[in-house]
Structure 1
């Protein structure tokens, strides 16, 4: 890739340029688009023409302000569909936009890199907010001093290997009685509530690749009832395979007794409460951070 070649072409006064977009979803599916009148190829991808995606002028800043723009598109069955948008498959998808010399695709330059934010759709079209990489600066940084653990189960800070036997389960859907309630058959060897707070991922069927967080996990009439905090926004049918991973409520006791991972606990269970902070010295008892006597 040669940005210098593109700049030299732009300086010539007679230009042959177009715009190319690459959209990479969280499930790994990548789709390429271009506003040129024919397909272009580079980086092992084919950027299809006339597939109904265009972008407004990019906002670019030299400081730390957030760069953003919007993408406008037409919902098409062979590209971006309303069903996939409704299912959340394009939430936080990565977007890269190039300016390309169409008769020499090696002469190109990245003009935008970021993710898809809010998507609205109406009248057979959609409008997607594109958030630049500096948008991540809006996220809270640093650690919080809480009694509960600040790590996410299985991440680098936690260090626990969820692939260990007994902390994950793959089972077939027996039935679905509501958008958030799924029944599984043949689940044995796991206590009730074992998967509460864990992740439910659909491994097959129309909803393959979509995930939800488990709110309630219990056994009723020899079936496992899994209730999610939010419904998976695609149809789940009987026989579809699900993968459940164990959940963690961030407490010290759970980290020690359920996962035997207390050395990596990232909470502060012995931090004094507010009553201790406003207490006054006492001659008849020690202020140890526990409950104060009255």
Structure 2
């Protein structure tokens, strides 16, 4: 006897479900069934327009993949959120359940959201399986600059005093004027700005440079910026050995090879 009897017989009671968890912790459930379902404490909203492509799974080293498409709805996945990047890298689990008794789900695939396309009020999203991690390089390449991220486990610089909150006073193209001044020259250059208020709440932005009470972003956020929006500023690092030693006193943890000859050795000559 099958462990999943609802898959047998001339008429099945199968419903497909998607569990999506964004990087900021927001989690939603969608089902292709015509009624909402409750599975493991999460309500899966009815989204009959959600349709998956064929799910390809294997025991080889090739990456599993699947595409899912459906309508854009304000209560589930909105076009604004997709374009703003809130769903980039979201974790996705796809499974099937018996809609008459959704207590024993059958896993079909899991991974993260990849490329997302929107058109005519609908979206198509690529699901990248966990095997895609095997496509990444297994060793790092040498580089004259540091490969660690400021404050991570390899860098080990304490970040407790290198973050602060501020409010936006004015916004002009990529430049923001804030209500507080940086602690040192270009302290937030190559750092990060996190939006805690306003239309862009939950998004991150890379900082190109900072000067006094202004910061210049690599690019403006997708939604409008208003005065009074709360942001968090995180100091950055230009990843040079001189900065690591002089500014952070952390040369012992520098993760680069500034004196290793590279391909530019061929272009060097006396007086260059």
- Shared topology, TM-score over 0.5? yes
- CA deviation digits over 1:139-181, x for unaligned, max 9? 2221222221111112222222212x2x112110001111x22
Counterpart in the other structure of 1:281:
none
Counterpart in the other structure of 1:270:
259
Contact 1:168 1:243 in 2 (8 A): yes
Once the two structures are superposed, the pairs formed by residues 214-233 of structure 1 within 5 Å of their partners are: 214-219=207-212, 224-233=213-222
Q: 1:249 to 1:102 in 2, by over 3 A?
A: same
Counterpart in the other structure of 2:193:
200
- CA deviation digits over 1:223-272, x for unaligned, max 9? x2211112211222100111111111111121122222222211123324
Give 1:52 shift: 4.1
1:96 is aligned to 2:89:
no
Structure 2: give runs of 5+ residues left out of the alignment: none
Counterpart in the other structure of 1:213:
206
Q: Which stretch has the larger CA shift, 168-177 or 227-236? A: 227-236
Once the two structures are superposed, the pairs formed by residues 76-155 of structure 1 within 5 Å of their partners are: 76-155=73-152
The alignment partner of 2:221 has SS state of coil
Q: Which stretch has the larger CA shift, 210-219 or 266-275? A: 266-275
Give 1:13 shift: 5.6
RMSD (Å), alpha carbons:
2.2
Partners of 1:136 and 1:267 lie apart in 2 by: 24
Counterpart in the other structure of 2:38:
41
Structure 1: give runs of 5+ residues left out of the alignment: 279-289
Q: 1:142 to 1:247 in 2, by over 3 A?
A: same
Select 1:5's aligned residue among 3, 6, 10: 3
Counterpart in the other structure of 1:283:
none
Q: 1:151 to 1:275 in 2, by over 3 A?
A: closer
The alignment partner of 2:70 has SS state of strand
1:66 is aligned to 2:63:
yes
Select 1:187's aligned residue among 168, 174, 181: 181
Counterpart in the other structure of 2:235:
246
Moved over 3 A (4+): 11-14, 272-276, 290-294
Give 1:18 shift: 1.0
Give 1:71 shift: 1.0
Contact 1:171 1:187 in 2 (8 A): no
TM value normalised by structure 1: 0.85
Give 1:73 shift: 1.2
